[in-house]
Amino acid sequence: MALRVATTKLGSKLLPMLSSSSLLHSHATSFGGLSFSQICCFAVLEIVAGFKEVREEEKRQLVGNVFSSVASSYDLMNDLMSGGLHRLWKDRLVSMLNPFPGMKHLDVAGGTGDVAFRILETVNSIKRRALQDVLLDELQEETRIYICDINPNMLNVGKERALERGLAGDKSLVWVEGDAEALCFEDRTMDGYTIAFGIRNVTHIEKALAEAYRVLKRGGRFLCLELSHVEIPVFKELYDYYSFSVIPAMGELVAGDRSSYQYLVESIRRFPPQEKFASMIADAGFQKVEYENLVGGVVAIHSGLKI
């Protein structure tokens, strides 16, 4: 409650300064009608080592500990601090994926199931539209969405949510504990690969990209949703202020954990800028590499094709 009041107050002061749609949106996607507090309160539970130099093993352990400790409050916090905006970003990610019945899909760092549920819902809606198409029924039977996450606590959050949604027995959803850098899937077995707010947490991004490339079939699509870099003057300054001053304070207020949120904002700044990350994806072998900024680059969706 206190958080909502604080963000609303902040939003009402700063909104007039940010009312230009060009300031808030870039490239193809627009989220018209969002308040400044929603825009500022971007998805916020991605917590990794930031400006502090953390050795590789320590980073791995740190990320593990952080997600274990936040797992139980993850959904609530994410919604609270993003003002629900992360849902729109994930919707966009899945619409770009273009899921289809029978597909084999891998969602990495997908512990909450947020992306997987959307994919399944899209596949089911295609089937519903086709009504009694026997072929589609058979294809649907073969749909597999693998949710892979290194942290069993985060996977448990996803499994509980599946239970709440009546999807616990759905054999399309397969929960797998595993590391993005060393996937336990065969070469060329997946039609699609997604990773949402996860790649920043892996120790070696190049290894995760190489693994994504390895498991995708030819024609398979790689999609990555990640907090990224804002370059628009004024908005960048406000965003920096929000990130470094407001978010850690929110973390303390809401989750009683200031330092994790400090890591969060620092890690966003350490993550490669959009162009650099696009070139890393291309270096992994992907073609037709593109990215789309949302909310002026607060987040970006990168994509690539394995041809």
Ligand X SMILES: C[S@@+](CC[C@H](N)C(=O)[O-])C[C@H]1O[C@@H](n2cnc3c(N)ncnc32)[C@H](O)[C@@H]1O
Planar angle of CA 81, 84, 88, nearest 5 degrees = 130
Name 276's Cβ contacts closer than 8 Å, sequence gap at least 6. Answer: none
Nearer to ligand X, 198 or 220 (CB): 198
Q: How far is the CB of 49 from ligand X (least distance, A)?
A: 11
Comparing CA positions, the residue from 46, 58, 37, 172 lying closest to residue 112 is 46
Q: How far is the CB of 30 from ligand X (least distance, A)?
A: 22
Q: How far is the CB of 133 from ligand X (least distance, A)?
A: 32
Q: How far is the CB of 194 from ligand X (least distance, A)?
A: 8
Nearer to ligand X, 71 or 289 (CB): 71
Q: How far is the CB of 13 from ligand X (least distance, A)?
A: 29
Q: How far is the CB of 53 from ligand X (least distance, A)?
A: 18
d(CA 54, CA 48): 10
Q: How far is the CB of 64 from ligand X (least distance, A)?
A: 7
Edge-first strand listing for the sheet containing 299-305:
173-177, 144-149, 104-108, 190-196, 216-227, 299-305, 287-294
| Token pair of 297 as six digits | 């680059």
Nearer to ligand X, 46 or 191 (CB): 46
Q: How far is the CB of 301 from ligand X (least distance, A)?
A: 12
d(CA 246, CA 239): 10
d(CA 215, CA 184): 9
Q: What sections of 190-291 are H helices per DSSP?
A: 205-215, 235-241, 247-250, 258-270, 274-283
Nearer to ligand X, 7 or 151 (CB): 151
Nearer to ligand X, 140 or 262 (CB): 262
Nearer to ligand X, 18 or 108 (CB): 108
Nearer to ligand X, 30 or 65 (CB): 65
Q: What are the angstrom distances between the C-alpha of 300 and each of 25, 79, 89, 115?
A: 11, 19, 9, 16
Nearer to ligand X, 177 or 252 (CB): 177
Q: Please report the DSSP string for 107-147 in residue order.
A: EET-TT-HHHHHHHHHHHHHHHHH-S-HHHHHHHHH-EEEE
Residues that bind ligand X (CB under 6 A): 45-46, 63, 67, 108-112, 114-115, 149-151, 154, 179-181, 196-198, 201-202
Could you give the dihedral angle defined by the CA atoms of residues 76, 82, 84 and 87, in that order, rounded to the nearest 10 degrees?
-100
Which segments within the chain are labelled E, that is strand?
Answer: 104-108, 144-149, 173-177, 190-196, 216-227, 287-294, 299-305
Cα–chain-centroid distance for residue 152?
18
